[in-house]
Amino acid sequence: MTVLQNCIKKISKDNCIWLMRQAGRYLPEFREIRSKNQDFIKLCLNENLSSEITIQPLRRFNIDAAIIFSDILLVPYALGQSVKFKKDFGPLLGEIDFNKMSKINEIEFIDKLKPVYNAIKKTKDQTELKNKDLIGFVGAPWTILVYMLNQRSPKNDDIELNLKDKKFIEDLLKVIVKFLKIHINNQIESGATIIQIFDSWAGLLNKKDYDKYIYNPTKDLVNFVKSKKIPVICFPKGVNDYKSYVSLVKPDVISIDYDVDPKKISDSIDITVQGGLDPKFLVGDKEELKTNVKKYLDIFKDKPYIFNLGHGVLPNTDPSMVDYLVKFVKNYS
């Protein structure tokens, strides 16, 4: 059993830790590769480089898992929608040709994402991963839908408009769920030992629409991962009621964002909790970081808990702060 899986089941007393966006722009060794690879999608589909980037943070820090270097937007890409990453702006997606998209078959889809699966196969046996998990991931159906319709990262008020064409959205959501399962399945078959589902834009939706866009489609994916007998972590960032989410979607682990009160979560939720710490504390001073890290470790002391952030590591983070954090968490009791 790996360190993280022991932690999920609370078999050992040791603290465990990994970080969302642990591979990425705050690491000089990543920036070096990135500067020579301007096309981000191509970089994700370079199996040697994406495997190398996945391992980079494990060479520096005693973290308990690797997360495959890839992106949630590779799914729209493999469904035939164009996806580009514009510098200092973020992702830009093209128009959806639904007629064409609905004809895409499993083989074509898998063929486009083969390098991701090959990168997982390459990475899983590296010595740096001994006794550690390799996390595969997908965007949640809702978050993928948001990007596909909005064609860029949304602002808070521009989504409602796009949800009016109900029949089209329902059909699109079905296609998304079908191919997310295929993507999950191939990551597991290639060697991913845990799956995380990122619902980064859950906070955009009105509660009345949760069943249709968040609970039901995510539960479908969660049940699918469970049928493969590996743990599934859900991160519904900004969802207004984590308790209902957990009781309806039933993941193995719930990853919380920095806006929720960890004490309330600890009192009301009885599955393994992950995360919470605001990533801004990694950009501040060490004393303040320590105070806030302790808060989470103390609150979850007697519960199964995976230390992580409430969202990804910020690009302006100094790697020495991450080193300090990892050592502090590992040595704290």
Residues forming the active site: 21, 25, 34, 71, 147
Least distance between ligand 1CP and beta carbon 295 (Å):
23
The single residue listed with the structure tokens 């999950």 is 184
Please provide the size of the chain in residues. Answer: 333
Question: In Å, how far are 86, 189, 271 from 123, measured between CA atoms?
Answer: 28, 13, 29
Question: Looking at 16-24, 106-114, 267-275, 285-293, which segment touches ligand 1CP (CB under 6 A)?
Answer: 16-24
Asked if 198 is part of the footprint of ligand 1CP (rule: CB under 6 A), the reply reads: yes
Least distance between ligand 1CP and beta carbon 116 (Å):
11
Residue of 6, 29, 33, 34 that binds ligand 1CP (CB under 6 A):
34
Asked if 279 is part of the footprint of ligand 1CP (rule: CB under 6 A), the reply reads: no
How is residue 100 written in tokens? 């064409």
Residue of 8, 15, 24, 215 that binds ligand 1CP (CB under 6 A):
24
Question: Looking at 70-78, 157-165, 206-214, 276-284, which segment touches ligand 1CP (CB under 6 A)?
Answer: 70-78
Do 238 and 257 contact (CB within 8 A), yes or no?
A: yes
Asked if 25 is part of the footprint of ligand 1CP (rule: CB under 6 A), the reply reads: yes
Distance (Å, whole) CA 314 – CA 147:
21
**CB burial readout 229-248, b (16+ within 10 A) else e:** ebbbbbbbbebeebeebbeb
Least distance between ligand 1CP and beta carbon 252 (Å):
18
Asked if 153 is part of the footprint of ligand 1CP (rule: CB under 6 A), the reply reads: yes
| Own/partner long-range contacts of 318-321 (Cβ < 8 Å, ≥24 apart) | 318/26, 318/282, 318/283, 319/26, 319/27, 319/28, 319/60, 321/282, 321/283, 321/286, 321/289
Asked if 254 is part of the footprint of ligand 1CP (rule: CB under 6 A), the reply reads: no
Asked if 330 is part of the footprint of ligand 1CP (rule: CB under 6 A), the reply reads: no
Do 172 and 215 contact (CB within 8 A), yes or no?
A: no
**Per-residue x/- mask for ligand 1CP, residues 304 to 323, rule CB under 6 A?**
--------x-----------
Distance (Å, whole) CA 67 – CA 141:
20
**Per-residue x/- mask for ligand 1CP, residues 81 to 120, rule CB under 6 A?**
----x----xx-----------------------------
Distance (Å, whole) CA 185 – CA 192:
9
Residue of 16, 63, 67, 260 that binds ligand 1CP (CB under 6 A):
67
Distance (Å, whole) CA 244 – CA 106:
34
Asked if 137 is part of the footprint of ligand 1CP (rule: CB under 6 A), the reply reads: yes
Residue of 61, 69, 305, 307 that binds ligand 1CP (CB under 6 A):
69
State the Cα torsion 256-314-307-63 to the nearest 10°: 140
Interface residue list for ligand 1CP (CB under 6 A):
20-25, 34, 40, 67, 69-73, 85, 90-91, 137, 153, 198, 200, 312
